[in-house]
Chain A
Amino acid sequence: MEDERVQLTDKQRKARRSRSVAIGLALAALVVLFYVVTVVKLGPGVLNRPM
């Protein structure tokens, strides 16, 4: 049976991989950013909430 899937060229595969890596790094940076901002803005108060 003939393969109907899109066959990526080397260039397309490399470009997709580098885009995936960039998205991963950007997401990781966002996680770090919001973690640090939470600590800076709330400090120890982040644990101080009514039970």
Chain B
Amino acid sequence: MPHEWKPPAGKAGGFGQTETPDQVRMALIEHRFEDAGSRVSEATPGDYLALLKPRVMSLVVFTAFVGMMTAQAPVNPLIAAFSILAIAVGAGASGALNMWYDADIDAVMSRTANRPVPSGRVAPREALAFGLVLSALSVMTLGLVANWLAAGLLAFTIFFYAVIYTIWLKRWTPQNIVIGGAAGAFPPVVGWAAVTGDVSLFALVQFLIIFLWTPPHFWALALFKSGDYERAGVPMMPNVAGEASTRRQIFAYSLPVAVVAVIPALIGAASLAYGLFAGALGVVFVFHAWKVLRMEDADRGMRPAKVLFTYSVFYLFAVFAALLADGIVGRIGAAG
């Protein structure tokens, strides 16, 4: 008798918000072990693209490109473009591995419930295979196209995000995004290594800018999404240490964020104009963090936290855009 594949019970239109996290986990485990022969996928290429977290990928591409352009080393444009592609695919692969492992958490959070795995469009084992194949492919490609130091750093970045952050830290400690932030901070270093074959102080400063920026950025989000994280059982700072402590820590982190972004000008790696621009952006960052610090407990709208979150995205983009402009001017100067 002909038979059609049907999504597992309760998953046809994605998980509703009524299931408990344990029910969701059981459904995903059943889905994970169901008979492979009885299942025909309805996943489209778009679903697989969504597994790569395109928005995160775009930030990775941008910061890796800045790392390359600030390296001031001669580079063939095609080699640079293919290296960026390999780095982007590597970042996407770690995103797919994250979505494979975190499907149970994603299913109970409003922001992520419609992702391909929790919604049932892609089976967990398909996401795992996709992530592993792309990880290997991206690392090998970067090694062959650029060099094996860059490839090794990319492999470590994928490992750090998928294993250290996703599997180990995320469900264990409220410091998850503090340490895990390193994964997001590596792309400019990988980009730098791809064109120079080594890693310098300036590349590490770029790492540090993103590394220190990550906690206030995610804790601002966690403040106004703490209910989501609480329901999913993820120990984010607001639902472990409390909102007041989180607000203090956001402000404490905003100070080194503002200082570190100016360092490239202080060590002579970037111009004075960059230093002034980054300094001004940093002052505004600290101002918004201070507004979060002063936020009333009764303020459930949490507008200052939302403003800081939005500004933090702009801040990182603006700092790296300024580094890029500085790097391009430097290259033009060197060529002239």
Contact = CB atoms under 8 A, between A and B. Distances in A.
Interface in B42-60: 42-45, 48
Interface in B1-59: 1-5, 40-45, 48
Contacts of B144: 34, 37
A19 B44 contact: yes
Main secondary structure of the interface of B (DSSP, over half): loop
Interface in A4-46: 4-9, 11-12, 15-16, 18-19, 21-22, 33-34, 36-37, 40-41
B201 interface: no
B4 A33 contact: no
B82 interface: yes
B141 A12 contact: no
Which one of A11, A12, A15 has the greatest number of beta carbons of chain B within 10 Å?
A: A15
B45 A33 contact: no
B40 A40 contact: no
Interface residues of B, number: 20
A15 B41 contact: yes
Interface residues of A, number: 22
Contacts of A3: 2
B78 A36 contact: yes
Contacts of A8: 4, 40
A12 B5 CA distance: 9
Nearest to A25: B45
Contact of A40 (B4, B5, B44, B78): B78
B141 A40 contact: no
Nearest to A22: B45
Contact of B141 (A2, A19, A33): A33
B329 to A, nearest CB: 26
Nearest to B83: A37
Contacts of B42: 11-12, 15
A22 B48 contact: yes
Contacts of B145: 33, 37
Given A12-B40, A40-B76, A18 B82 contact: no
B280 interface: no
A29 B1 CA distance: 41
A5 B3 CA distance: 8
26 contacts: A2-B1, A3-B2, A4-B1, A4-B2, A5-B2, A6-B40, A7-B3, A8-B40, A9-B4, A12-B4, A12-B5, A12-B40, A15-B41, A15-B42, A15-B43, A16-B40, A18-B45, A19-B44, A21-B45, A22-B45, A33-B145, A34-B144, A37-B78, A37-B79, A40-B76, A40-B78
Given A37-B145, A40-B76, 15 more contacts: A2-B1, A5-B2, A6-B5, A6-B40, A7-B4, A15-B43, A16-B41, A18-B44, A19-B44, A21-B45, A33-B82, A33-B141, A36-B82, A37-B78, A41-B79
